[in-house]
Amino acid sequence: MPLDTTIERPKHVKPDQVFDLDIFLDKDLLQDPHKGYRALQQKAPEIFYTCRNGGHWVVMRFDTIASILRDAEHFSSKELTIPKSNSDNVMLPLNLDPPEHAGYRAALMKHVNRKFVDALEPELRKRANELIDEVIAAGECDFSERLGAAFPVSVFMDFMAMPRERFDEFRGIVHEYFSPISNARYLELQSTIISVIREMIAARRATPGEDLLSKLMEESVRGRPLTDAEVESYGFLLFLGGLDTVANALTFSFRHLAEDAPLQARLVADPSRIPDFVEESLRCFGVVHQTRIVKKDVDIDGVHMREGDMVSCALPAAGLDDRKNPDPERFDIDRPRREHLVFSTGAHTCIGNVLARAEMKVFTEEWLKRIPSFRIPETGRLVWRAGQVMSLQSLPLEWTRGGK
């Protein structure tokens, strides 16, 4: 989104509540966004206002984030972009507030649930090994796109019946979409995505299949069939989520694992601890920031927020809150208790959280069976993306050629 929309401090914002932060271009966030947000927790006000990117509040503490996300009376998800995009596009069910969203959420959850994920597991393992086959002999690869993205994205494309040969095209779209671009370009990319989904709907109308989009086209909400426009809206949300977020979470987790040889050895010796590794990765390395627009004036923790204000809830920072997770920067799979909000909370808890966890678990299991020791080369350069959806866009890895 545009980065030339710095505004003057609004009158209802006190001077001591202002902290200068560009969520897209801050140098600390671009060096390592998770370390950057942890540092912000320690030096910035607990709730602060930045005048950059159209002006918005930033919230980084677990309890305050959770209270905002559960408060549909004062905070709406009708605008999810910072700066405001003023787009007419709606992502079902994410842009709808309770109780309006409930029927749309239920229609989608019927097809992305634990039963679906359990049935998908053999295919997940097969696909993971196909991708490992492609790189194992070389002894090196850039994990981010070759594996971190290719695994969850190709799985998503398969159950959406998207042609895999469009992988690079679609990944290019989401990379640009979540980068700092002009509002005009942002709206152009929305139109591009919607056109792709519209083409898919037309194809499914002609030849229905067993893919997720075909199933959604048969769904009803409030006793009536979904319209094509509503199916397009679902498709738009799925496109953005399925083509980017799990890829980022998986890559973040492997960045840490590549730098922790004792943990690699421990997980190889005891794969039953891999789910704990996944959960600790999610706590430490969240991806998405949840945005809200204030529906009506509200005071929260001594801060007055006015109707129309934008609020960025930094979900990745919630897991790094020392009030919830002692010594939060320490990666510890033995934590007796951990709390995070990486999948949000309340009415808009991420529907794909079961699938995301399963994909991360399965890929880690299959990788460590075949490549039990790996590392980031000394000359390796990491490339980060900050913003509302954070990513590690380059993660070079190396290992003994042929794996074991």
Q: Work out the pLDDT band at 85, boundaries 50, 70, 90.
A: confident
Residue 144 neighbours by CB under 8 Å, 6+ apart: 247, 251, 391, 392, 393, 394, 395
Using CB atoms within 10 A of its CB, is residue 36 exposed (0-12), middle (13-18) or buried (19+)? buried
On the question of a cis peptide bond just before residue 10, with omega within 30 degrees of 0, the verdict is: no
In a domain? residue 133: yes
Host H or E run for residue 263: helix 261-269
Segment (H or E) for 188:
helix 183-206
pLDDT tens figures, 183-230 = 899 999 999 999 999 999 999 999 999 999 999 999 999 999 999 999
Whole-angstrom distance, CA of residue 178 vs CA of residue 54: 17
Does some domain include residue 107?
yes
Residue 49: enclosing H or E segment and its boundaries?
A: strand 47-50
Residue 88 lies in a domain: yes
Rounded CA separation 251/255 (Å): 6
Number of domains in the chain: 1
pLDDT at 88: 86
Domain residues for the domain of 43 are: 15-398
Can you read off the two tokens belonging to residue 379?
């000359």
Strands 298-300 and 140-142, how do they pair? unpaired
- How many beta carbons lie within 10 A of that of residue 273, not counting itself? 15
CB atoms within 10 A of CB 381: 9
End-to-end CA distance of the chain: 45
Per the CB < 8 A criterion, the answer to whether 1 and 83 are in contact is yes
Q: What interhelical angle do 246-258 and 150-159 show, nearest 10? A: 160
- The pTM assigned to this predicted structure is 0.95
- In-domain check, residue 124: yes
CA pair distance 49, 310, nearest whole angstrom: 10
What pLDDT score was predicted for residue 402? 66
Q: Which residues pair with 383 in a beta bridge?
A: 394
pLDDT of residue 143: 98
Read off the pLDDT of residues 334-362 as tens digits, 9 standing for 90 and up: 999 999 999 999 999 999 999 999 999 99
Q: Check pLDDT > 60 for residue 3.
A: no
Q: pLDDT tens for residues 57-75?
A: 999 999 999 999 999 999 9
Q: State how far the Cα of 93 lies from the Cα of 236, in Å rounded to an integer.
A: 11
Q: Is residue 166 part of a domain?
A: yes
* Confidence (pLDDT) at 380: 85
Tell whether 8 is covered by a domain: no
Confidence of residue 328 (pLDDT cuts 50, 70, 90): very high
Phi-psi region of 391 (alpha: psi -120 to 50; beta: other; left: phi over 0): beta
Mean per-residue pLDDT over the chain, rounded: 95
Give, in order, the Cα–Cα distances in Å from 315 to each of 47, 162, 291, 395: 14, 30, 10, 23
DSSP calls for 368-385: HHH----B--TT---EEE
pLDDT score, position 2: 46
For residue 137, give the DSSP letter.
G
Output DSSP code: residue 281.
H
- What's the rounded Cα separation, in Å, for the pair 113 and 108? 9
How many helices and strands (H and E) does the chain possess?
Answer: 16, 13
pLDDT digits (tens, 9 = 90+) for 265-323: 999 999 999 999 999 999 999 999 999 999 999 999 999 999 999 999 999 999 999 99
pLDDT digits (tens, 9 = 90+) for 229-256: 999 999 999 999 999 999 999 999 999 9
Full 3-state SS string of 32-86: CHHHHHHHHHHHCCCEEEECCCCCEEEECCHHHHHHHHCCCCCEECCCCCCCCCC
Q: Is residue 332 pLDDT above 70, yes or no?
A: yes
DSSP state of 148: I
> For residue 354, what are its two tokens?
């079961």
Share of the chain above pLDDT 90, in %: 94
Q: Would you state the structure tokens that stand for residue 209, as one six-digit string?
A: 């299949």
pLDDT at 330 over 60: yes
Residue 1 placed within a domain: no
CATH number of the domain to which 344 belongs: 1.10.630.10
Domain assignment of residue 119, yes or no: yes
pLDDT value for 244: 93
Cα separation, 85 vs 82, in Å, equals 7
**Residue 258 near residue 374, CB atoms below 8 Å:** yes
Please, which pLDDT band fits residue 1 given cuts at 50, 70 and 90? very low
